[in-house]
């Protein structure tokens, strides 16, 4: 695995004076789950194994039936009716024929055809069917790639699978009109992507078909809820990869969180109440990796995981305010088949720069047996939703 590093991380961990605010806001974060483990694709040793791994992933995505899961995820939102929702892993899979396929092959192969849909469009359709008026107000595009695939296993590619990963912010009808996208282009050291930015530091996998950059990003909006001005940011950080050939792999997510904290500190007006949600792939249990390390400053002095960075920069983890419920949000089995919930990590978070006076109605949603689909018994996602109502006062 390769690393890309930005010298602009000198911005990291900048702080601004906290603002005083009045108000109450209900927010939710949900990793929707693409539907399969992609690591076998990355690890495939040759093109034949790569093709087999792609077909297996598409088959698993189809079996995990996002059409049904979209309805379950929409029900979680409808049962809560939050003001704002941060969604991660909002995938879109499209199939294009390269060569004329047989009637039951190519994009129409029954083992993979169910994988091809737009997860965002399905989610919005299911919300609409429930009578809930939510709008997509901001999107950042992350991984975007086309994969040639040989479905006939005859040595010739016959389809091209287009894959798009997004992080999305939804707003309820009550607050949509006040929402405006934050323009981070002046601070974007990676690349601008739709309404947001990609991180400069990214994982790059050397695959059997060439290098693939696993882009991650963030996106933000300004919104007024109940007379209070908020900045709401949604992100999905790189996973912490325990790679025995590279013990410094946690550097990537640490660099991404440092970049995010620096940008938010430099760009968020002090009069706005700042809330950051998302899947940060980091918890309070992650250890600091001490230096010295063969990395550029400041990481040569040690690798501080994202959760610890946020707390050290003055952000408040809403889940830690009152109550001792673990709040585990990750992860169910990759095929979503486990009978009872096995969530055992708290990596989906709601942080605020300003200290809330209260964090009420804190819930992990989608982790109870009645939340599963019938008759397949699939969980809505491999992650639970995390929701909280935050109160801020002068």
Question: Please, which residues have CB within 8 angstroms of residue 320's CB and are 6 or more apart in sequence?
Answer: none
For the chain, give the mean pLDDT: 91
Cα separation, 162 vs 151, whole angstroms: 15
Q: Could you report how far apart the first and last alpha carbons of the chain are, in Å? A: 48
- Across the beta sheet with 159-172, the strand order is 134-149, 159-172, 84-97, 23-31, 385-392, 358-365
Global pTM value: 0.92
C-alpha 220/C-alpha 355 separation (Å) is 20
Q: CA-to-CA distance for 356 and 322, rounded, in angstroms?
A: 11
Question: CB neighbours of 24 closer than 8 A, spacing ≥ 6?
Answer: 225, 226, 389, 390, 391, 392
* Topology of the domain comprising 2-392: Deoxyribonuclease I; Chain A (3.60.10)
- pLDDT for the residue numbered 244: 56
Residues 158-206 pLDDT 10s: 999 999 999 999 999 999 999 999 999 999 988 899 999 999 999 988 8
Exposure on the CB side of residue 128, measured as CA atoms within 13 A: 8
**How far is the C-alpha of 291 from the C-alpha of 243, rounded, in Å?**
18
**Residue 164: per-residue pLDDT:** 98
What pLDDT, in 10s, does the model give residues 232-257? 999 999 998 766 556 667 999 999 99
What's the average model confidence in pLDDT over 139-152? 95
Q: Dihedrals φ, ψ of 107, to 5°?
A: -65, -20
**Domain positions in the chain:** 2-392
């Amino acid at each position: 695995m390769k690393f890309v590093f930005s010298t602009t991380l000198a911005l990291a961990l900048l702080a601004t004076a906290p603002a005083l605010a009045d108000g109450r806001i209900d927010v939710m974060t949900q990793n929707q789950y693409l539907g399969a483990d992609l690591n076998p694709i990355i690890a495939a040793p040759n093109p034949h194994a790569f093709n087999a791994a792609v077909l297996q992933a598409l088959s698993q995505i189809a079996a995990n039936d996002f059409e049904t899961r979209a309805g379950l995820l929409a029900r979680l939102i409808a049962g809560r009716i939050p003001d704002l929702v941060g969604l991660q892993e909002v995938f879109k899979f499209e199939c294009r024929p390269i060569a004329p396929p047989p009637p039951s092959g190519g994009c129409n192969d029954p083992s993979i055809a169910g994988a091809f849909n737009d997860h965002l469009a399905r989610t919005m359709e299911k919300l609409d069917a429930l009578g809930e008026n939510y709008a997509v107000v901001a999107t950042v595009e992350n991984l975007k790639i086309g994969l040639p695939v040989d479905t006939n296993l005859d040595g010739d590619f016959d389809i091209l699978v287009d894959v798009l990963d997004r992080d999305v912010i939804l707003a309820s009808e009550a607050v949509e009109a006040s929402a405006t996208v934050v323009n981070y282009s002046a601070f974007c050291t990676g690349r601008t992507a739709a309404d947001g930015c990609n991180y400069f530091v990214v994982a790059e996998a050397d695959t059997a078909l060439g290098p693939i950059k696993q882009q991650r990003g963030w996106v933000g909006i300004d919104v007024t809820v109940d007379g209070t001005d908020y900045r709401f940011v949604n992100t999905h950080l790189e996973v912490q990869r325990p790679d025995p050939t590279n013990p410094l792999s946690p550097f990537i997510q640490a660099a991404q969180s440092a970049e995010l904290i620096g940008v938010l500190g430099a760009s968020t007006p002090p009069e706005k109440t700042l809330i950051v949600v998302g899947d940060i792939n980091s918890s309070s249990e992650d250890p600091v990796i001490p230096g010295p390390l063969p990395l550029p400053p400041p990481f040569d002095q040690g690798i501080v995981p994202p959760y610890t960075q946020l707390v050290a920069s003055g952000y408040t983890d809403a889940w830690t305010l009152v109550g001792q419920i673990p709040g585990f949000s990750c992860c169910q089995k990759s095929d979503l088949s486990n009978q009872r919930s096995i969530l055992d990590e708290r990596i989906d978070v709601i942080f605020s720069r300003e200290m809330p006076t209260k964090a009420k109605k804190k819930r992990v949603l989608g982790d109870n047996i009645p939340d599963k689909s019938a008759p397949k018994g699939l969980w809505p996602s491999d992650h639970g939703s995390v929701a909280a109502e935050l109160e801020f006062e002068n």
